[in-house]
Structure 1
Amino acid sequence: MNRILSFLQTVHDKKGVFASVTLVMAVVLFVLLSFVTNENTYTIERFQLSPETIRSTKTVEDPLKTEQDRLAARESVDPVYVFQEEASDNQAAWTSSVFETILVIKQEALSEDSEQPPVQQLKVELEALSNELVERLSDEELSVLLNQPASTLTTADEVVTDEVATALNQPIRGPQLTVAREEAASRVLERLPFPTNFETILTKILAVAIIETEFLDEELTEQRIQQAVNAVEPTRILQGQLLVQQGQYVDREIYRQLELTGMIEDTVQYKSYLGLAVLIFLAVAMVYCAIHLTKGTRKTRLTWLTVALVVILVASILMVLTSMIDDNFTISLAFLFPTGFVAMTVYLLTSERLAYISLIANALLSGYIFREDFTTFLQTDVALYTLIGGLSGIFAFKFLSGSAPILKASGIVAATNALFMLAYLLLSTSALTLNYSLLSLGLALLSGLISGAFTFGTLPFFESAFGILSTMKLFELANPGHPLLKKLLMETPGTYHHSVMVANLSEAACEAIGANGLFARVACYYHDIGKTRRPGFFIENQTNGYNPHDSLPPETSASIIRDHTTDGAALLIQNRIPKAIVDVALQHHGTTCIKFFYHKAKQHDETCIEADFRYEGPKPQTKEAAVISIADSVEAAVRSMKQPDSEKIMKLVDSIIKDRVNDGQFDECDISMKDLQIVKQSICTTLKGFYHERIQYPEEDKK
């Protein structure tokens, strides 16, 4: 323990020490939590018999099967065709136009008004209607058309146009065109007999007139394909699903599924470890940032950082051990974990802000450690359970007072845990038995009590290992029944009263500048404990007007007065009082001069050295020690004043503070001039309450 304290005292001023401590603790947490990250793996060879039955420990998507299902869904979608209803009328009109054109050219040829041969004129006119038709008909066939009687052409017009309209009233796709054209030609020839050469021409006209009436709608088809693909749910290998039975042949597909679920020994779960690293980074980073937002010396903040991370580590060890045996029970032991341990311990050892942040970090880790399967990122109910239980512990310390605060706080945590568990059980969708519900509530209550037990049991270790004075320890030391305080009261009642007065002044002043008021009060109770060695040599303990210093040389008197600091420190160490209070006993006079005896000595010997009449120190190292040194001198000085009033007190306090500043007594602590002004105002305000002016009553009223 002393090594830990010595290490922190040695390295707190080194650059990067905060980040280094945080990184080390993060690595330790990563190694610890990796035990709950590892998944069950097996040594399986492809194309061999399985040595055991294996079920999946998690639910994972099977991308290969999913892609195969989606491909099958895509292929199962029929193309979407759109029927063109207007094709029948349009093509029938076109067919009729062809025959009308032939009749017109034929009439013009008979009237001999044509400027060019009829065949050429017909080719030009038909070309305007359809290039394809002109390409299909030769000049001889065009001539045959012109040579047909008008009645034949009119009849052909009616029959062919009707057949075209009839044929195109039905859906016709590209591959069906040939059959549709042949069927239409057969029907035309069956209805009327035509010359063979004319029938061939009609067949060609039908071939051009009959077109596709159904066309592929690519956009709509693609939409339906996408709908079908999107409707395919991802194929998953479910947690608990049988992958292979003992003695079963491991083919390629089984081996692929084993690889996919991470059940093969050679499969490294880099993703899981990376996620764990990020989670731990978030947890410790919150604590690291909270420390940098905390006021105090580097040494104090480094100590608090280390304490918070160690408490989180201890809690994580407990959670990991609990999770390892959790499977052996029908009820989750996560609800037995002491939810208030981290929050209560960090609150008592450090600060309220750090307790909140440490609690959040612990809740994150608890949700990860107690997750029920590898598909869940965090077990949110456990994380919330830990968070709410810890918050209730902090609130209990903030708002409860009196004796046994840890016991009271653990009772509050137990009650809060039970209420959370009751809500959890009532909102659960599963059918729960009465025994299960009662057992769950029992675990919740026990969790709160264990929180108090762990906090109470580990506080001495942390206090000793890190040299921390916890709030609980301060309350214990402030108890008037403490042996040293009883000794002080019985042997030096004047000093006891003086210490209480200094405690009142110091506590108020420390709280005014943001220092630890409770610590200042307790330190004041013990700062003059050294006077119990020779109580009669201190004026507040002298009675009957006898002062032993009157018969002693000033050098001897100064030595007796000076030794009360070292005597006090020795007595405190002997009684195992924390070092921080021992330091105040040594520092509360700093290296100030015992002026009364120095001036007395100088009256007899001008060559006397002032350094021989100074306290050994050291000078105050903390704000609390500086405030106590001021309050100690002020209280003694004011007590010796006759009829103190506000103005006298203000001048006295100002004089003492200026004298200490000019003497360099505050050069080794971080108290500022602004802080000293606040301290002066606080001490003056408190003293005015002690020495307020009293009403002078008439003599007759006193009788």
Structure 2
Amino acid sequence: MTENNNEKQRKRRTFGTRQRTVRLGLFLLLGLLLYASMVTNVQPELLNVSHSEPAPEDIRSPITVEHESETAAREQEALEDVEPVYVHHQDYGQMQSERINAIFNITADVQADIDDEAEDMEGAAEELQEALEQDVDETISADALETLLTVSEDQLTIGRDAARNAVHEVMDEEIAVDDVPAAEEEVEERISRSMGSAQLQAATSEIAARMVTANYLYDNEATAEQREAVLDDVEPVLIQEGELLAREGEIITNDIYEQISLTGLLDEGLSPLPYVGLLIFVGLIVGMIAFYSAQTSSPLRDSNRSLFLYVLVFFIMLAVMKVMSVLNLLDLEGLLWLTPVALGGMLLAQLLSYRVALYSGVLFALAGGVIFNDDASGIFHATFMIYALFSGMAGVFFIGKTPRVAKVLQSGVFIAVTNALTITAFYLLSNAPLAWDSYGLDVSFAVGSGFLAAVLTLGLMPFFETGFNILTKTKLIELANANQPLLRKILLEAPGTYHHSVMVANLSEAACEAIGTNGLLARVGAYYHDLGKTKRPLYFIENQLQMTNPHEKLSPDMSKQIIIEHPYDGARILQEDNFPKPIVDIAKQHHGTALLKYFYHKAKEEGMNPKEEDYRYPGPKAQFKESAVVGIADGVEAAVRSMDAPTTAKIETLVNEIIRERFVDGQFSECDLTMKELSIVANTMCETLKGTFHSRIEYPDHKDEKEKTANGSRH
């Protein structure tokens, strides 16, 4: 037993590894398809042009790049207009006045020393000179020193005040370096007008003139800041993306050649950057799809088959856009608007899910923006991206979450109108004079795109349905045809089961429509849910007409085995006939793990001491709403038909009891039916049953499980 369990675990691990490998391979395939479809659109365009030769075609810049030499010239021109900044240092006058004070104070001190120590004049002059050099860093002529040492204290005071006033008044004005000589003369003139002594005047004028200095000076820091501010205001000279560099036939001048070179159109070396950029771009798209499939409940999450279908639809869209981009090179104006960009979304809405289609519409638009960049100056054709986004969304929105065949062609009209309005918006937003010929051609192609998308959707759907065995509305309608071989098999071999299945289908469809799920799927699933009864039709009471019930001659174990096998016999027949998986699942799941109560109690009465689990269906339980509803309808229809003189109250009680029993038994634990939806299902079935049941053999009361039942009629 342990070896068998280990072998099963090993097989599960192997299967899981294989599934992940296949999934990874599909994502890599999608990335390869994306890269291959766009790589030619990112290859740098190289031109063969020379100086002084005519341009072979209109040359436009593929990128926005700065023209550095022109920017530098513009900056230099701006700097030439910047005036140097000068600052008037008004505190310089006060500083120089303080120096004059210091000179006269030092002189007074030296004079006092002469009086006290009776030193000779020559020594005193030398001492004064040294003191001035040391304290005020100033040198005065010998005559001036001698004059200062020989005048009285009052005359020193007069000379000091005259020098201070003259320097302060003159330096109160702006004095540039070149203006210093004139300022010195003015100081001397002011002193000459205020003093009488010629010797003191000469000495004072010399000292005052030496104190005059420039106070209106060049400010290097402020000038640098002003130059920096001017440079910040200079706009760089840009060669804009899409800018016309040269018209066809125009002579290539040095300036034009330089601009072409700056845009990279003359580069002879192969740059890997565009290819690396495309790789990252493709990686982002594939990564977003991988994250979406892993983190949502879409069909892409667990099914590699659905993922392969998705990759195939993506490939078709890439191929269609690539072909249209090549045809667009024929210079037929507006041909790109004919691209059926809504095709991918419409296919995915019907083949996989509404949300997958919406999400993918954005990705189709991104890929189309690169594929159609021949009409754009840059790497993306932004206008086409917006057009593709609106067109794709329009197709998905109109088809809706439960698409119908009739809606496909109608959606073509809706897409055509959306496309035409989008083109009109582009023309009006450009604020250019409306060229009616060009506008009419573009709108015509855009309208054609909508109808082309609808026609291609209808044409491709049968191939997907057949190749992938996909359950679409069209397929369901085909399977519901009474001439379908397996339906005829039920009708001919088990007519009672056939009529029972039709009634179950009516109940199931009405209930599913009421709770917002796929009513058509429930109807078709109900048609085939009891197909397994055709293997032994006479062992089911609805097919027993005026004959002895064969279960009376069988043991409970044998009867139980026959009844339990019918869901799985039906599932095998459906699988062999290549029926869609949801139909097979409904056949297999409609009884879940319910208990065969009649035969279980019969076995107990016969003293067989049966185990309850041996008298339960193996399952699985219902995995989705439609399967659960079909199971409820199966029990309800059989029970109501077996009632004697049914009334509305009896029907409601019985329906609610059947649903309650299944709920308590955990038969809805693996699907997402809510209590509110179960209540709606019960009410809808009661309304439907009022006018559809007819007299039938009395079905046992659920509360009286020991009373003989119609063997297996509810199973």
Same fold (TM over 0.5): yes
Q: CA deviation at 1:40?
A: 0.8
Pick the aligned partner of 1:41 from 19, 26, 46: 46
Aligned partner of 1:265 in structure 2 is 268
- Label 1:618 to 1:399 Cα distance change in 2 as closer, same or farther (>3 A): closer
1:629-640 map, 5 Å? 631-640=633-642
- Label 1:671 to 1:29 Cα distance change in 2 as closer, same or farther (>3 A): farther
1:392 is aligned to 2:390: no
Aligned partner of 2:140 in structure 1 is 137
| Secondary structure of the corresponding residue to residue 404 of structure 1 | helix
Aligned partner of 1:697 in structure 2 is none
1:446 is aligned to 2:448: yes
Q: CA deviation at 1:290?
A: 3.0
- Label 1:116 to 1:647 Cα distance change in 2 as closer, same or farther (>3 A): farther
Pick the aligned partner of 1:240 from 241, 244, 264: 244
1:163-312 map, 5 Å? 169=173, 171-173=175-177, 176=178, 205=207, 208-238=210-240, 239-242=243-246, 258=261, 261=264, 263-270=266-273, 272-295=274-297, 300-312=302-314
Q: CA deviation at 1:279?
A: 3.5
- Label 1:85 to 1:277 Cα distance change in 2 as closer, same or farther (>3 A): same
Note the alpha carbon deviations across 1:643-669, whole angstroms, 9 max, x for none.
45244445556667889x8xxxx8xxx
1:529-548 map, 5 Å? 540=542, 545-547=545-547
Q: CA deviation at 1:406?
A: 0.7
Q: Which ranges in structure 1 are unaligned for 5 or more consecutive residues?
A: 1-8, 695-703
Q: CA deviation at 1:206?
A: 6.0
| Secondary structure of the corresponding residue to residue 215 of structure 1 | strand
1:150-165 map, 5 Å? none
Conserved? CA contact 2:79–2:231, under 8 Å: no
| Secondary structure of the corresponding residue to residue 448 of structure 1 | helix
Higher mean C-alpha deviation, range 305-314 or range 349-358: 305-314
Which residue type is aligned with residue 85 of structure 2?
Answer: Y
Conserved? CA contact 2:170–2:183, under 8 Å: no
Q: Distance in 2 between matches of 1:636 and 1:358?
A: 45
Q: Distance in 2 between matches of 1:233 and 1:415?
A: 44
- Label 1:106 to 1:354 Cα distance change in 2 as closer, same or farther (>3 A): closer
Conserved? CA contact 2:334–2:445, under 8 Å: no
TM-score calculated relative to the size of structure 1: 0.71
Q: Distance in 2 between matches of 1:269 and 1:44?
A: 23
Note the alpha carbon deviations across 1:351-386, whole angstroms, 9 max, x for none.
222222112222333334334677646444333322
Conserved? CA contact 2:74–2:234, under 8 Å: yes
Conserved? CA contact 1:171–1:214, under 8 Å: yes
Aligned partner of 1:346 in structure 2 is 348
Q: CA deviation at 1:287?
A: 3.0
Q: CA deviation at 1:433?
A: 0.9
- Label 1:571 to 1:304 Cα distance change in 2 as closer, same or farther (>3 A): closer
1:468-479 map, 5 Å? 468-478=470-480
| Secondary structure of the corresponding residue to residue 241 of structure 1 | strand
Q: Which ranges in structure 2 are unaligned for 5 or more consecutive residues?
A: 1-13, 693-715
Aligned partner of 2:357 in structure 1 is 355
Q: Distance in 2 between matches of 1:90 and 1:657?
A: 103
Aligned partner of 1:688 in structure 2 is 686
| Secondary structure of the corresponding residue to residue 136 of structure 1 | coil
Q: Distance in 1 between matches of 2:254 and 2:225?
A: 40
Aligned partner of 1:424 in structure 2 is 426
Q: Distance in 2 between matches of 1:52 and 1:674?
A: 67
Note the alpha carbon deviations across 1:78-131, whole angstroms, 9 max, x for none.
4633342747965896798699x4999599789968987778888888999986
Aligned partner of 2:37 in structure 1 is 32
Conserved? CA contact 2:366–2:385, under 8 Å: yes
Aligned partner of 1:4 in structure 2 is none
Q: CA deviation at 1:226?
A: 1.6
Which residue type is aligned with residue 64 of structure 2?
Answer: V
Aligned partner of 1:498 in structure 2 is 500
Conserved? CA contact 1:91–1:165, under 8 Å: no
Q: Distance in 2 between matches of 1:121 and 1:374?
A: 94
Conserved? CA contact 2:148–2:200, under 8 Å: yes
TM-score calculated relative to the size of structure 2: 0.70
| Secondary structure of the corresponding residue to residue 395 of structure 1 | helix
Conserved? CA contact 1:410–1:449, under 8 Å: yes
| Secondary structure of the corresponding residue to residue 86 of structure 2 | strand
Q: Distance in 2 between matches of 1:445 and 1:53?
A: 32
Which residue type is aligned with residue 429 of structure 1?
Answer: N
- Label 1:514 to 1:409 Cα distance change in 2 as closer, same or farther (>3 A): closer
Q: Distance in 1 between matches of 2:335 and 2:449?
A: 10
Q: CA deviation at 1:408?
A: 1.4
Q: Distance in 1 between matches of 2:382 and 2:501?
A: 52
Q: CA deviation at 1:691?
A: 4.5
Q: CA deviation at 1:259?
A: 6.4
Q: CA deviation at 1:180?
A: 5.8
Q: Distance in 1 between matches of 2:356 and 2:420?
A: 26
- Label 1:633 to 1:154 Cα distance change in 2 as closer, same or farther (>3 A): closer
Q: Distance in 2 between matches of 1:552 and 1:156?
A: 146
Conserved? CA contact 2:163–2:208, under 8 Å: no
Conserved? CA contact 2:163–2:191, under 8 Å: no
- Label 1:616 to 1:153 Cα distance change in 2 as closer, same or farther (>3 A): closer
Q: CA deviation at 1:230?
A: 1.6
Which residue type is aligned with residue 350 of structure 2?
Answer: L
Aligned partner of 2:64 in structure 1 is 60
Q: Distance in 1 between matches of 2:576 and 2:450?
A: 36
Q: CA deviation at 1:228?
A: 1.9
Higher mean C-alpha deviation, range 259-268 or range 505-514: 505-514
Q: CA deviation at 1:50?
A: 12
- Label 1:181 to 1:234 Cα distance change in 2 as closer, same or farther (>3 A): same
- Label 1:329 to 1:63 Cα distance change in 2 as closer, same or farther (>3 A): closer
Aligned partner of 2:323 in structure 1 is 321
Aligned partner of 1:459 in structure 2 is 461
Q: Distance in 1 between matches of 2:410 and 2:276?
A: 41
Which residue type is aligned with residue 501 of structure 2?
Answer: S
Q: Distance in 1 between matches of 2:480 and 2:133?
A: 114
Aligned partner of 1:699 in structure 2 is none
Q: Distance in 1 between matches of 2:682 and 2:158?
A: 129
